[in-house]
Chain A
Amino acid sequence: MFLFIVRRLIASALLLLVASFAVYIMMAYAGDPLGFLNEITNPTQRAAIERDVTEALSLDTSPVVRYFHWLGDALTGDFGISARTRQSVNDELASRIPVTLKLVAASSILSIVIGVIVGIVTALRQYTGFDYIVTFFTFVFFSLPVFWIAVILKDVGGIRFNDWLRDGASISTPVIVTLAIFAGIVGYSIAGGRTPRRLAIASISAVVAAGLLVYLSVSEWFLKPGIGLPVLIPMAAGIAVGVTAIFAGIANRKALYSALSTAALGCVLYTPLQTLFDESGMGWWWTLLLLVVTLVASYLIGIAWGGYDKGLSARVSMLVGFLVALVIFVDRHLQSWQEYSSNPVIRNRPIKTIGDKEARLEGSFWVLNNDTFSHLILPTMALMLISLAAYTRYSRASMLEVLNQDYIRTARAKGLTERTVVVRHGLRNALIPLATVIAFDIGGLLGGAVITETVFEWNGMGRLFIEGLQNLDPNPVMAATMVVGATAVVANIFADIMYSVLDPRIRIHDQ
């Protein structure tokens, strides 16, 4: 294994070297990085800048020599200066990588979670209406030019949504009817069994959707969002029962009771937590600490209920604990929503279409988080559409592949319940190839948001690259390419290793 990693690292380093040479030479022949000098009117200033930049980038030598100058610096971790701004590219990288990470992390996590769930469900309901609808939409999402949908999102999701909020945030009857019918169709096509049962499920989902929308409209929920204890309690109970039903089965009483007690504990702690949340020191470190405490407590609850399968109860309980904590965390943000929205800097137009944060905004941890969220939502949606489609297809294919295996037939023949077959024998194995795909994708993430960053004007890696290219500025382009290339290479190796760790049938040989 160690030899394998070393060999791959050396090979990848050589690859990066060749790739960097190719890009550098192409950049050098693409044009003159000093072209912007014509914009400077003062001749002495122009000459001074020309001299400085020429010296810093060794423009007076041939591109090949220049490349080796650059390489020497780059190997010591110095990516030089930008010809245009004469700022250190390293500083640029330091300020831009977090921005890009913020953008891509949110969309990746969401699209992985949603995509895998939808993909698994479509695989289980292969060749049903739901499967066809989802397949059609994944194809549509694949076919969308990112910037086209991003511009539409900016207008519809940003400007018009903010107008809609200003006009009272009421949902009109035709919209409610349409969405309810849609919910009914989805319910009908997901549900299994005979037609009467499916019709019943369809009408229930339609009525629930309609009721929910009417409530949201009448209570002006979008202006004054919140969850609150009355909604939290049934929600936590639902989470507990749902998680148990999927991962342990309702028949496993110990697991059910541990899940329910964790949920109950969450509800009991809701009120005392609010005072803690309002402390001025509240921040991400506190959040992390609370999360760890939550997970440990839920684990202990699971163990305390005992039984022959303590570990399973503990895991179910931990997942419930995490989800309930998430709801409480989101609830606290929603409580601060009005404070955020009515802030004079925001002027009741909360959904932002430009930038990654409102620099002039001041407020508590929660208000600032709401600000981040309202900046993130539109670019995240634009980025999500495509990766969501990809993950849905991957996980559907992977799950179908697994479900056709002999060991699934064996599991069924043993008389295991459908839940055990699907979750324990199917899902686990279907996730193995998915894990490597995810590792691979994460490597490409840093460079993957070029278009989205440009449309939504986020100052991330993608824009560093594009602006460098537009200004024929070699150093920023090279730095961006190298960072993206290096992460891609490392992710690639990591994906291979992960595959062999997760799937013992695949072995990495040192020879």
Chain B
Amino acid sequence: MSDDHLLPPDPDEVSEMDDLRVDPHRESDFEKFPDELTHEQREVAGLSQGQIVRKRFFRHKGAMISLVVLAFIIIVAITSVGAGPIPGWYQWQHTDLIPPVQDEGPTISVVPSFLGGEGLAWGEHPFGVDNQNGKDLFALTMRGVQVTLVVILVLALLSVTLGVMIGALAGFFGGWTDSVLMRITDVILILPLLVIVSVAAFSFGASGLWSVALALGLFSWTGLARLVRAEFLALREREFVDAARVAGASPTRIIFKHILPNTVGTIVVSTTLLMGAGILTEAALSFIGFGIQAPNVSLGALVNDYDTAFGTRPWLFVFPGAMIVIIVLCLQFIGDGMRDAFDPRQKRIPKFKDLEKKQEETKADMATRPNRMHLGG
């Protein structure tokens, strides 16, 4: 009984919970059953949903590390070769022809000197040089990162807009709206994404950044739409929606003000994972010749261009590919961290340390009765 109210299952109940916290009846409940407060309940008691989510997310080590790494990559990618008219700090651009160098290999080094390496060194050409085409690979890769990021941002923007709109309308109104929208979703869903996107990118005029981004965005929203629809189907039956309706709220207001904020978790998580998958799809498209092609640069196009170089000049192939892996991996971990943070059923196994602390606290509580037991906060 008391358990259900202490773990706020939904944001819309948060205010309710805050009221309950100061309710004298509740206090006596705690007093009667102090042991019914589990470890995790104490941790969240008195916090708003947003605070709980943030706290859980910041505790997810993988997600935090990934966030830092991803931020670092984005900052380096933008500042090094510059964006648009703004120049960067790196000496070459992806369009620059550079004179052939003696040693084409990468000059970046992270092996410390006491292990026989050169210490942390940047060098003249950190990722190496492509002598055949006179290109500096670092400049190419950073430009590729920029383009790839633009592609997945467009993809995310389009998919979220389309997916949320379609899912929300289908889920909220039901009936024939639902049938029509979901049948459209099904049509796109039964065809493999790669198939439909390559045909679409092709008919938009292949090889440019925008046509690929557009094609990816226009056909990647199906999963999101289904998830949002399912959320809406469940949420529209809830009491707070009835309350809003009785109070005279219009459907638009109910959708955007009352239901949509409750689906943010699902949307954010699946968009993050979608962006990761989008990078891989973009790369795959480039590989089979329907994505961004040379002279345009994207990470997928770079890997595709240099796929025959692996035997002789592996760095040309490895650095752009590794960059894809790192970015997607970061997005995966961030998505995982957010899923854990948003999931109200999420259980964290407490560490032994924490359990011991809890036992001591309980003991202390027993000793200091009838003082109010503190709520963790």
Contact = CB atoms under 8 A, between A and B. Distances in A.
B233 interface: no
B175 interface: no
A340 interface: no
A112 interface: no
Interface string A447-460: 11011001000000
Given A145-B324, A469-B198, A139 B329 contact: yes
A16 B188 CA distance: 10
B321 interface: yes
A127 interface: yes
Chain A contact residues: over half helix, strand or loop, or mixed?
helix
A196 B232 CA distance: 52
B288 interface: yes
Nearest to B206: A30
Contact of A23 (B183, B196, B276, B310): B196
Contacts of B203: 26-27, 29-30
Nearest to B314: A155
A23 B196 CA distance: 7
B202 A465 contact: no
Contacts of B62: 136
Contacts of B284: 145-147, 450-451
Given A18-B187, A19-B187, A481-B191, A451 B287 contact: yes
B328 A143 contact: yes
A469 B199 contact: yes
B320 to A, nearest CB: 9
Contacts of A488: 190, 192
Q: Which interface residue of B190, B202, B300, B326 has the most chain A CB atoms within 10 A?
A: B190
A470 interface: yes
A506 interface: no
A142 B195 CA distance: 20
A66 to B, nearest CB: 16
Contacts of A159: 311
Given A140-B325, A147-B284, A148-B303, A15 B183 contact: yes
Contact of B191 (A30, A126, A145, A485): A485
Nearest to B348: A127
Interface string B309-349: 01100000100010011101100110010000000000001
A151 interface: yes
A148 B321 contact: yes
Contacts of A477: 199
A385 B187 CA distance: 29
Contact of A484 (B192, B280, B287, B326): B192
A152 interface: yes
A148 B326 CA distance: 13
Interface string A136-165: 100110111111100110010001000000
B199 A152 contact: no
B199 A23 contact: yes
Q: Which interface residue of B192, B300, B325, B326 has the most chain A CB atoms within 10 A?
A: B192
Interface extent on A, as a size class? Answer: 35 or more
A22 interface: yes
A469 B202 CA distance: 9
B81 to A, nearest CB: 23
A81 interface: no
Interface string A104-115: 000000000000
A145 B192 contact: no
A485 B188 CA distance: 10
Contacts of B328: 142-143
Given A143-B332, A148-B324, A488-B190, A27 B199 contact: yes
B310 A151 contact: yes
Interface of A: 12, 15-16, 18-19, 22-23, 26-27, 29-31, 126-127, 136, 139-140, 142-148, 151-152, 155, 159, 444, 447-448, 450-451, 454, 465-466, 469-470, 477, 480-481, 484-485, 488-489, 492
10 contacts: A19-B190, A126-B349, A143-B329, A145-B300, A151-B307, A151-B310, A450-B194, A451-B288, A466-B288, A489-B190
Given A142-B328, A145-B283, A145-B300, 13 more contacts: A15-B183, A19-B191, A27-B203, A126-B349, A143-B324, A146-B284, A147-B303, A148-B303, A148-B317, A159-B311, A484-B195, A485-B190, A488-B192
